[in-house]
Structure 1
C-alpha cells in the first residue's frame, strides 16, 4: 500500500516540482517571444522588400517618364523644323504700319497717394483716449493729408510733363515712319534695304537660335533686291532621335538619329529657310518695289579645311515675283521647289560645307551694300546658343585660362570647363551660361553652387545676358561663386578684343536711370519685399532711399504717413499671404544718385506703448516678383530687449547697376525718431 511522503523531504520535493514548472513556463514564454519576434522580423523584411520594390518601380517609372519627356522634346524640335515653311506662310505679313506706335499714354496712377489720409473718429477717443489725444491725432492727420495733397500735386505735374514729352516722342517717331513710307514710295535704295532687313528680323517664323545676319543692296533699275542671308548650322537638327533609360546601368542613352535622315532634314530646313525668307520679302512689298529677289544662303562657323572662321554659300536662288506668286508654299516639297520650280542651287552636302556658287552678290549691285545683324557686332541675345557658349570659352582663354565647351548632353549642368593654371589662386572652374532676357532667379545660383560641390571644382561662374537680383548676390556672398551680368560681360568682351552687344543698335548695353521727378513707367519691373517675423507686437516697417547714410530728402522716407516716394519707385503695399508687411520697389527706377534702400522696423507706440523688440524673432524678407511669386528669402537680425527700432538691412547698388543685400542689426532705444535722425531726418 502506498503512502504520501511527508516531512522535510516531501516539502523540498514539492518545491522542486514548482520550480521546475516555473522554469518550463519561463522557457515557453521565451520561446513564444522568440517566435513572435521572428514573425515580426519576417513581416518587417517583407514590408521593406515590398517598399524597396515599389521604390525601384517608382524610380524606374520616373526615369522612363523623364526619358520619354526628352524624346518628346526632340520630336517637337524636329516638328518645328519640318513645318517651318508652312507655319511661316500662315503668319501675317510685315508692313510699315507695324512700325507705328500707339499714342495712348498710360493714365495717371498715383497709387497710395490717391488715397486720402483717414481722419480719427472722435467717438473712439471718447471711449478710449480722451480729448487731448484726439486733438493731437487730428492735427497730425490734417498735416499728413496736406502733405499728401502737396505730393499728389507735384506728382501730377511731373506726370503731365512726362506724358507730354512721351507723346511728343511718339509723334516724332510716327512722323519718321510716315517719312519712311514716303521714301519707300520713291524707292530710295538705302530705305528699301533697311525696310526689308527689318522684315526678316521682325519675322516670328524663325525658331530660337536661327541666325539673323543680312548684307543687301537694291537694284532700283531692275527692281531687284540682292542679299546674303544667314542660315542655321548643321547642329540645328538634333543628333539624337530619342532617349532611353537603361535600368541595368541606371543611365540614359541617346538613340542616334540616322545620318541619312539627319542630312536630309538639314537640306530640307535650308530650302525651307530660303523659300520662307523670299516669301516674307514679297509679302511685305506693299509699294511694288520688288520684281525679283536674289537670295544667297550662307552658313557660318569654323571651316574644317582651314580651322578658321568663315562663311560658306550653301543655297542660292533668283525668285521672280510672277513665278513665286503661283506657288502654294504650304504644300510644296521645299528641296524640289527650290531646285526645280525656281531653278535654284542647293548644296548636295551642306553638312560638310560643300559650297555652291551664288547667282549674284550684293557687291555687284550699283548701290552701297548695307550690312546688318550678327555680322556687324553679334547680338548676344540672338546668338546661336552653342556659338554663345563658344564665345564665353574664348573670353576665358583670352584671360589666360584653359577653357573648352562641354558636350551638349550629360554635361552635368556645366557649359564651359576652365582651368586657371596659377599654382596659388588657380584651379578648376565650372561655368554655366544663361542667355536670359529677364533677371536670373536665385535658384539658378543655388543650382550652380550644387554643381560646384558635386564636381569638386574650386570655383563656379554664372554668365548671363541679363542681370541678377539682390537675392542672388546675397546667396553668392562668401561662396566660391562669381556672377557676371550682361553689361559686365559686354565690357569684358571689349576689354579683350572680342565682340558682343545686347540687343539691336548699341554695341554696349547702357543703363538709363529714371530722373528723380519722372514718374515710373507702367512696364517697369518691381519687386515686393514682404516682411515676416514672430511675436505679437505691432510694428511699422519703413524704407529710406539714401545716398550713403543720408536719405535723399524727407519725401524719400516711406512710412505710414508718406506711403510712396515722389516718383513712385518705392511704396507701401498690401502684404502677400503669409507676410505681415510689404514694400513695393522698382530697383531699376530708383534715382541715379540713390545707392541704397534701407529697410527698418519700429514698435508702434500708439498700439504697444510699453513693447520692445525682444519678441521680434525669426525675421526675414521675402523677395517676391510683382505678381507675388517668391524668389528668395533674406534673413535679418532678431530684436533685443529694450530696443524699439531696428535697421533690418539695406539693398546697395553695385558698380554694374545690380543690387545686393547687406544685413543690418543696429538697434535704437529711442524708437523710430532716433533711428531716422541718424539718416539726416529732422524730427520735430
Structure 2
C-alpha cells in the first residue's frame, strides 16, 4: 500500500515540474518580447518639446488680510436707547427732579458711548488700513517674484531660440531626463550642444548584454527530477542585444528630433556606452558599443514601425555596432562626447583685457595652420605642413604610428566664420582618395551643415568644428577662444 502511495506521488511530480518549466520559459519569452518592443513603446507616446512659455508661473493673488467683520462700520449709539421715560400724568412729588437727574445721566452715558464708538471705529479703520497695506505689500512681492520668474523663462526661451550652447543643452537634458526607462536600464544620459553646427551629441549608458536572458527556455528532466535551463545560442544572444541597442539609438533620435520645438538641432550624434568590469584587469571600463550620426532629413524619411533596427542603423546611418558586445568589444565614436560637452569649453569672457587667450579668428590663415599642426603634434601625431598654394588641397599631413587604428591623415584647416559648405567636404574626400590616405580631417573655427555630415557618414572623414577645436585645445593646454566681433 505504501509503495502504491509513493508511486503515485512520484508520478505527480512531472506534471508540476513541467508546468514550472513552462512558466519559467514563458517569463523568459516575455522579457525577450519586452526588449524587442522598446522602440514600438516609444513610438506609441506622443513626443513634443516643452513650450517654455508654459513654464511661466500663473500670477498669484495675495490672500485677503482684512477680516470680513472689519469691513463694515459698526452702528453708532442711538439716543432712543438711552433716553429715560418721562414722568406720567400723575406725578409724585420730586418726579421732575428725578427725571432731570436720569436725563442728565443718560446724556452722559450717551456721550461716553459715542466716544467709545468713535474710538472703536478709529481702531477698526486703522486695523483695516494696516491690513490693506500688508496685502498690497504681499501682492507687490508676489508680482515682483512672478515678473522675475517670467523674465527668467523669457530669457531662457530667447537663449534656446538663439542656439545658446548652455540653454539648448539644458533644454534637451531635461527633455531626455523625463523619459522613463524600461526594466532596470541605466538612466545616465549626457547632452552636449554645438551651436556652430546645430549638432546635439548624446551619450547614453546602455544595459550590458546580461539584460538579454541567457536561457532560451526551460525543460523538465525526469532523470534528475529537476527543471533545467536550455542555454541560448551565442549568436542569438548577440543578435538580440544588437537589436536592443539599435532600438535604443533610434529611440534617442525619435526623442531628440520630436522634442526640438524650437528647430535648433539639425544633426544628432548618439554614443551608446556600457559601464562594466574588464575581467582581464578588474578595472571599470566604459566602452562605446554603438555610435551613429543622423541628420533631421535622414531621420524624417524613416518609417520607424516597419524597419529592422540593426539593418537601419548599420546601412542607413552607417552606424558602428559592436560585433562582440558580450566581450565589450568597443567601436570608435563618430564624435567623442567630450568634444561637444559644454563643460569642457571654458567660459569665454568677451572683454579681451580680462581674457588673455588668443582669439583664433584674429590669427592669419598661416598662423592658424601652425596652431593646428601644434595641436596634432600634442595629440601624439607626426605632422608636416604643406606650403601655401602648393598643397593640392592639403594644409597638413599627420601620421599616426599605431597599428590598426593609425595611418596617414590629410588635414585641412579653415579659418572661417561662415558654415563650411558641403563642397569643401566633398573636395576633402577626393583628396583623401588621391593621396591614398587613411582618413581626412577638416578643422574649422566655424561649423558644418547637415548635408556635410550626411556626406561624411560612412566615409573616412572627420569633421572638427569650432566647439570641438576649442575642446581639443583645452585638453592639450593650448590657450584659445573664438570670439565673433560685431561688424
The higher relative CO (CA closer than 8 Å, separation ≥ 6) is in 2
Higher helix share: 2
Q: Which protein has the larger Cα radius of gyration, Structure 1 or Structure 2?
A: 2
TM-score, reference length from structure 2 = 0.48
Higher strand fraction: Structure 1 or Structure 2?
1
